[in-house]
Amino acid sequence: MTDVLIQAADHGRFSAYLAEPKGAGKAPGMIVIQEIFGINGNIRAICDDYAAQGYVAVAPDLFWRQEPGVQLDSNTKDGWDKAMVLFQGFSETKGVEDLIATLAWLRTQPRVGGKVGCVGYCLGGKLAYLMATRSDIDSAVGYYGVGIDGSIGEASAITKPLMLHAAEKDGFSSPEALKQIRDGLAPIVHATLHSYPGMDHAFARKGGEHYDAQAAKLADGRTAQFFADNLKA
Whether the pTM exceeds 0.95: the reply is yes
pLDDT recorded at residue 1:
76
For residue 125, the one-letter residue type is: G
pLDDT value of residue 24:
81
Catalytic residue among 98, 149, 170, 200: 170
* Rounded Cα–Cα distance for residues 159 and 222 (Å): 20
**Of 61, 98, 200, 201, which is the active-site residue?**
201
Strands lying side by side in the sheet with 56-60: 2-7, 13-19, 56-60, 27-33, 112-121, 139-143, 162-167, 191-196
pLDDT for position 23: 87
State the Rg of the chain over Cα: 16
Residues making up the chain, counted from first to last = 233
Q: How many helices (H) and strands (E) does the chain have?
A: 6, 8
CATH 3.40.50.1820 fits 2-232, yes or no: yes
Measure the CA–CA gap between 154 and 134, rounded to whole angstroms: 8
Is 201 marked active-site?
Answer: yes
Provide the residue ranges of all domains of the chain, joining segments of one domain with +: 2-232
Distance CA 187, CA 189 (A): 6
10-residue averages of pLDDT along the chain (233 residues): 94 97 93 98 98 98 97 96 97 98 97 97 98 98 98 98 98 96 97 98 95 98 98 92
Name the strand (E) or helix (H) holding 99.
helix 92-107
